[in-house]
Amino acid sequence: MSLSVHDLTITRGGIPVLEGLNFSLEPGRALILRGPNGVGKTTLLRTVAGLQPPLSGRVDCPPESIAYAAHSDGLKAMLSVTENLNFWSDVFGRKDISAAIQAFDLAALTDRMAGTLSAGQKRRLGLARLLVTGRPIWVLDEPTVSLDTASVRMFADAVRAHLQAGGSALLATHIDLGLSEAEVLDVGPFRAGPNSTVPGGFDEGFL
Amino acid sequence: MGSIWEYANPVKFSRTAGLVLPWVSIGATVTLVVGLVWGFFFTPDDYRQGSTVKIIYLHVPSALMAINVWFMMLVTSLVWLIRRHHVSALAAKAAAPVGIVMTVIALLTGAIWGQPMWGTWWAWDPRLTSFLILFLFYLGYLALWGAIDDPDTAADLTSVLCIVGSVFAVLSRYAVNFWNQGLHQGATLSLDKEENIADVFSTPLYISIAGFVLLFIALVFLRTRTEIQKRRTKALLARERLG
Amino acid sequence: MISLLIRDLKLAFRAGGGFGLGLAFFLIVTVLVPFGVGPESSLLSKIAPGILWLGALLACLLSLDRILALDWEDGSLDLLATSPLPLEGVVTIKALAHWLTTGLPLTLAAPFFGLLLSLPEPGYPWLVLSLLLGTPALSVIGTFGAALTVGIKRGGLLLSLLVLPFYVPTLIFGAELARRGAEGLATTTPLLMLAGITFGVIALLPFASALVLRVNLR
C-alpha cells in the first residue's frame, strides 16, 4: 500500500509548474509538502489523487487506495452531520461512522444541518469523512484551514492513529502538526523553469 | 516522403499552409468568378422558374459546404481525441465559423428563391428545417468554444459535442422527415435540384462548387494559421513569465 | 449508487425548488397558451399535445443546471470522482434523480393540464405514455449538457443553447405520438422511434457525459 511518484511533471492551465518530482510514501509514514503559495501543491495533490493527468512521469499506487480532501469539503448544507457522513461511508462501502464522529468530537452536533455549522466545525466534518472512507493513503490539501488549536491537535491525533494503523498521509500544510513520523518535502526547488526539458510543456510544438 | 501526420506539427503545418495559401486563394477566386459569372449571365432562363433559378449557383454550393464543413469538423474532432494533434482541434475551431456562414447563406438564398417560387419566404420543408437545426448545432458549438478559457479543455469538450451532435443531427434529419410527412404534403416543386437540372446549368454549377470548396480550404488554412499563431504567442508569454 | 440517489432526492425535497418549481412552470405555460392563441376549444384541443410536450420540455430545461453545478461548487464532484463509484454511474444516477424529481411529476401532472387545453379523450393515455417514454431522454441528454458546461460560470444560458437542438428528435417523436394518439391515428412508428431514442441515449450518453465531466474536473 505504498505510494510512489517517479519523475513527475505537472501542469496548471497547460503550463508546467513542477517538474522532476520523485518521492515515495511507505505505510506508517507521512509526507508534508511545503512551498510558497502558487507553487503547485494543490495541482500536485490533484494529480496524485488521479483527478488530472501528469504531463510526464507516473504515480504508482494501488487502485482505489487514496482518500482525497480538498479545500472544499463536499458537504451538503441541507443534510445533517450524520447524513453527510453516512452518505460517504455508503459510497465507500463501509457502515460504521461512530469512530469518525468520536475522533473529531462531532457527537454533540450529529443532528445539526451541515449548513448551520461554523467553518471550523464544517472542516472537522470534512476531515471525519476521511475516516469513513477506510482508504489507506490520505491526500490532504491544507487540512487545518479554519481549525482552532484544539481541533488541530485532534486532527494530528487522527493522522497519528491512521499512521499507526498502517496508513499513510500526504499533506500540504504550513502548520507544524508535531508528527514525529512526518518527513518534509519542500517542492520549491522543483519549480519548472523556462528551459523545461520535458516534451509537451509550453505547447512546445507551437514554438 | 513522410506521412500526413507530419503536418500535425503546428510549425510545419503553418509553413506549408503559408506556401499553399496564395495558390488556393487564386484558385478559389478564379473558379468562383468563372462559375458565378457563367452561371448568372451566360445560362438561359429556366422555362418554369425564369431567372430566379440562377440562385442555385450560390444556394447549392453553400448548402453542400454547410454539411461537409460539419463533417470535416467531425473528422478533425475525432483525430484530436484519438491522436491529440493540436492542429486538428484548431482546424475544427477554424472551420466552424465558415460552416455557420455557409449555413446562413444556404438558408437566406433558399428564402430568396422560395419567395417567388412557393410564394413564401419560409416553409417547414424537411430540408429547410434540417438546415435550421444544423445552424443551431453550429451555434452551440461556437458558443462552447467561446465560453472556455483553457484551450485544451475547450478542444476536448467541443470535440465530444461535435461527435455527439453529429449523431443527434442525423437523428433530427430523420425525425424531421417523419414529422413533416405527418403534417402536410410535400412541396409543390421538387427541391431535388440535382434530378431536374439540365446540362447547360450543371457545368457552371460544378465550377461554383469547386470555387466554394477552394474558398473554404483557403479560409480554413488562413484561420488555422491564425489560431496557431495565437497559441504560439500564449506559449511564448507563458515561458517569459516563468523565466 | 443507491445512497447517491437517496441523497440527491433528499436534497431535492429539502432544498425545494427542483420539484415544485418545474411543475409550477409547466402549469403557467399551460395557462398562458390560451391567453396567447385564444380560447376556442377546437383550436386548443388540436394543439394541446404539442403545447403539453413543449411545456414539459421547458420545465425540464429549467432545472438542468442544478444537476451537477451544486456538487461542483461544494467540491462533492471531486470527491465522487475519487470514490469507488464510476463516473458513468454517477451521471446516470444524477439523470435518474433529475427525472424522478422533474420528468415523472410532469408526466403525472400532464393529464390534468390536458383538461385545461381540452385534449381529446383518446389522447390521455398516449400523452402519459409519450411523456413517460420521452422525459427520461430529456434528463439524460440534459445531464450531458450539464456535464459539458459544469465548469463555466453562468453556464445556464449556454446549457439551454447546447441542449435544445439535442431535444429535437425526442420532441418530434414524443409530440407526434401524443398527437396521433389524440387523433386516433396509427402510433406504432413514433412509439418505436421514441423508445429507441430514449433507450439509446440511456445506454450510450452516460459514457460521453462521464468523459466530458472528467475533462472538466482536470
- Give the C-alpha separation, C9 to B233, whole Å: 48
What is the C-alpha radius of gyration for chain B, rounded to an integer number of angstroms? 20
Nearest CA in chain C to B175: C169
Per-residue confidence (pLDDT) for residue A204, from 0 to 100: 59
Per-residue confidence (pLDDT) for residue A189, from 0 to 100: 82
Tell me the per-residue pLDDT of B152-211, one tens digit each, with 9 for 90 and over. Answer: 889 999 999 999 999 999 999 888 888 876 443 344 344 454 445 566 778 888 999 999
Nearest to A74 among C14, C79, C217 (CB): C79
Farthest-apart Cα atoms in chain B, separation: 73
User: Is residue A16 within a helix (H) or strand (E), and if so which, with residue range?
Assistant: strand A15-25
Look at B86 and A207 and tell me if their CB atoms are within 8 Å: no
Q: Which range of residues forms the domain containing residue C94?
A: 2-217
User: Is residue B138 within a helix (H) or strand (E), and if so which, with residue range?
Assistant: helix B126-147
Find the CATH number of the domain harbouring A47: 3.40.50.300
A119/chain B closest Cα distance in angstroms: 31
Report in angstroms the alpha-carbon separations of C84 from A71, B168, C9. 21, 32, 21
| B106 touching A (Cβ < 8 Å) | no
Share of chain C above pLDDT 70, in %: 98
* A35 and A81 housed in the same domain: no
Nearest to C83 among A79, A86, A92 (CB): A92
Higher pLDDT, residue A73 or A204: A73
Nearest CA in chain A to B150: A13
Which residues on chain A are in Cβ contact (under 8 Å) with C9?
Answer: none
Count of structural domains within chain A: 2
Q: Look at residue A85 and tell me if it is in a domain.
A: yes
Which residues on chain A are in Cβ contact (under 8 Å) with B232?
Answer: 203, 206-207
Q: Which CATH architecture has domain B22-186+199-234?
A: Up-down Bundle (1.20)
CB pairs under 8 A between A and B: 39
Sign of CA dihedral A44, A46, A49, A51: negative
Tell me the per-residue pLDDT of B120-145, one tens digit each, with 9 for 90 and over. Answer: 888 888 888 899 999 999 999 999 99
Per-residue confidence (pLDDT) for residue B184, from 0 to 100: 38
| A14 touching B (Cβ < 8 Å) | yes
* A83 and A182 housed in the same domain: no
DSSP designation for A17: E
* A129 and A147 housed in the same domain: no
Contact C58, C25 (CB under 8 A): yes
User: How many helices (DSSP H) and strands (DSSP E) are in chain B?
Assistant: 6, 0
Tell me the per-residue pLDDT of B78-131, one tens digit each, with 9 for 90 and over. Answer: 999 998 888 899 999 999 999 999 999 999 998 888 888 778 888 888 888 899
Spatial CA neighbour of C74 closest among A129, A90, A10: A129
* A156 and A176 housed in the same domain: yes
Contact C139, C102 (CB under 8 A): yes
What is the C-alpha radius of gyration for chain C, rounded to an integer number of angstroms? 18
Measured CA angle at A169 (ends A165, A175), to 5 deg: 120
* A120 and A40 housed in the same domain: no
The pTM score is 0.90
**Grid cell in block for residue A189:** 526547488
Tell whether the model's pLDDT for residue A166 goes beyond 60.
Answer: yes
Tell whether the model's pLDDT for residue C203 goes beyond 80.
Answer: yes
User: Is residue A137 within a helix (H) or strand (E), and if so which, with residue range?
Assistant: strand A137-141
B150/chain A closest Cα distance in angstroms: 6
Q: Look at residue A130 and tell me if it is in a domain.
A: yes
Tell whether the model's pLDDT for residue B7 goes beyond 80.
Answer: no
Test the C interface: residue of A48, A90, A92, A97 with most C CBs within 10 Å = A90
* A122 and A141 housed in the same domain: no
- Give the C-alpha separation, B23 to A36, whole Å: 54
**Grid cell in block for residue A112:** 445539526
Q: Which range of residues forms the domain containing residue A27?
A: 3-65+136-206
Tell me the per-residue pLDDT of A14-37, one tens digit each, with 9 for 90 and over. Answer: 778 888 888 888 888 889 988 888
C7/chain A closest Cα distance in angstroms: 7
Q: Look at residue A70 and tell me if it is in a domain.
A: no
* A46 and A144 housed in the same domain: yes
Contact B89, B76 (CB under 8 A): yes
Q: Quick count: other Cβ atoms within 10 Å of Cβ A180? A: 8
**Helix ranges, chain C (H):** 2-15, 18-37, 41-62, 66-73, 76-81, 87-98, 104-116, 123-149, 156-183, 188-217
C203/chain B closest Cα distance in angstroms: 13
Per-residue confidence (pLDDT) for residue C163, from 0 to 100: 94
Contact C22, C102 (CB under 8 A): yes
Nearest to B243 among A15, A194, A204 (CB): A194
Nearest to A91 among C15, C78, C85 (CB): C85
Strand A30-34 versus strand A168-172 pairing type: parallel
Q: Read off the pLDDT of each residue in A107-116 and give the average, rounded to a whole number.
A: 86
Ramachandran bin of C189, using left for φ above 0, alpha for ψ from -120 to 50, beta for the remaining angles: alpha
Look at C82 and A66 and tell me if their CB atoms are within 8 Å: yes
Count of structural domains within chain C: 1
The domains of chain B are located at: 22-186+199-234
Nearest CA in chain B to A203: B235
DSSP designation for A136: S
* A16 and A34 housed in the same domain: yes
- Give the C-alpha separation, B182 to B92, whole Å: 36
Per-residue confidence (pLDDT) for residue C213, from 0 to 100: 94
SS (H, E, C) A45-101: HHHHCCCCCCCEEEEECCCCCEEEECCCCCCCCCCEHHHHHHHHHHHCCCCCCHHHH
Spatial CA neighbour of A132 closest among A107, A158, A166, A97: A97
Q: In what order do the strands lie in the sheet with A15-25?
A: A15-25, A3-12, A56-60
- Give the C-alpha separation, C91 to A11, whole Å: 27
Tell whether the model's pLDDT for residue A169 goes beyond 70.
Answer: yes
* A39 and A126 housed in the same domain: no
Contact B237, B72 (CB under 8 A): no
Which residues on chain B are in Cβ contact (under 8 Å) with C169?
Answer: 168, 171-172, 174-175
